[in-house]
Amino acid sequence: MRRFIILPSLACLLLGVFSAFAQEVQPGKSEEDNGYAQISIFAKALELIRQDYVDENKTSYHDLINAAMKGMLSSLDPHSQFMDPDDFRDMQDDTRSRFNGLGIEVSMKNGLPTVITAMEDTPAAKAGILSGDQILRINGISTERMDLQDAINVLRGPAGAKITLTLLRPSTKEIKEYTLQRAEIELSKALDELQKQGMQAVILDLRNNPGGLLNSAVDVCAQFLPPNTKVVSTQGRVASQQHDYSTSGAKKERGNFPMVVLINEGSASGAEIVAGALKDLHRAVLVGETTFGKGSVQNVLQLPDGSAVRFTTAKYYTPSKQVIQGNGVTPNIRVAVTAEQERSLFALRNAGNMTPEDEKSIIKAKDPQMLRAIDALKGVMIYAQENAPKAQAVKK
* pLDDT score at 219: 92
- If one compares 103 and 85, the residue with the highest pLDDT of the two is 85
pLDDT mean over 355-377: 79
pLDDT for position 391: 52
DSSP letters for 172-189: TTEEEEEEEE-EEE-HHH
pLDDT above 70 (res 349): no
Compute the distance between CA of residue 17 and CA of residue 15 in angstroms, rounded to an integer.
6
The model carries a pTM of 0.63
Would the pLDDT of 4 be above 50? no
Span 22-46, pLDDT tens digits: 444 445 556 567 788 889 999 999 9
Please tell me which residue, 105 or 47, carries the higher pLDDT value.
47
**Quick one: pLDDT at residue 8?**
42
In this prediction, residues 347-351 reach a mean pLDDT of 64
Residue 2 has pLDDT above 50, yes or no: no
Region of residue 211 (phi > 0: left; psi between -120 and 50: alpha; otherwise: beta): left
Strands 174-181 and 202-205: unpaired
- Residue 383's H or E segment, with its range, is helix 368-386
pLDDT at residue 395 greater than cutoff 80 = no
Q: What is the pLDDT of residue 97?
A: 33
- What dihedral angle (degrees, nearest 10) is formed by the CA atoms of 319, 284, 79, 183? -140
Kindly list the catalytic residues. 269, 280, 294
Q: What is the pLDDT of residue 201?
A: 93
**Amino acid found at 375:** D
How do residues 155-197 score in pLDDT, each as one tens digit?
777 777 888 999 999 989 999 999 988 776 688 888 988 889 9
* Residue 208 pLDDT class (50, 70, 90 cuts): confident
Going by pLDDT thresholds of 50, 70 and 90, the confidence category of residue 6 is very low
Q: Is pLDDT at 394 greater than 90 in this prediction?
A: no
C-alpha pair distances (Å), 230 with each of 138, 196, 323: 41, 29, 15
Q: Which amino acid is at 210?
A: P
Lowest pLDDT segment from 15-19, 77-81, 228-232: 15-19
pLDDT band of residue 352 (cuts 50, 70, 90) is low
Contacts of 7 (CB under 8 A, 6+ apart): 15, 43, 44, 47
Contact 132, 169 (CB under 8 A): yes
Of all residues in the chain, the percent with pLDDT exceeding 90 is: 40
Q: For the chain, what's the residue count?
A: 396
What type of residue sits at position 240?
Answer: S
Residue type for position 230? K
* Helices 356-366, 339-349: inter-axial angle, 10-degree rounding: 180
Lowest-confidence region among 31-45, 188-202, 220-234, 317-331: 31-45
> Do residues 140 and 164 lie in contact, with contact meaning Cβ atoms separated by under 8 Å?
yes
**Closest by CA position to 148, among listed 160, 159, 140, 156:** 156
Q: What is the pLDDT of residue 318?
A: 97
Which of 39-48, 206-215, 245-254, 337-346 has the highest average model confidence (pLDDT)? 39-48
Taking 70 as the threshold, does the pLDDT of residue 3 lie above it? no
Mean pLDDT, rounded, for 211-217:
83
Residue 6 C-beta-side C-alpha neighbours within 13 Å = 2
In angstroms, the CA 140 to CA 143 distance is 9
Please give the pLDDT value at position 338.
82
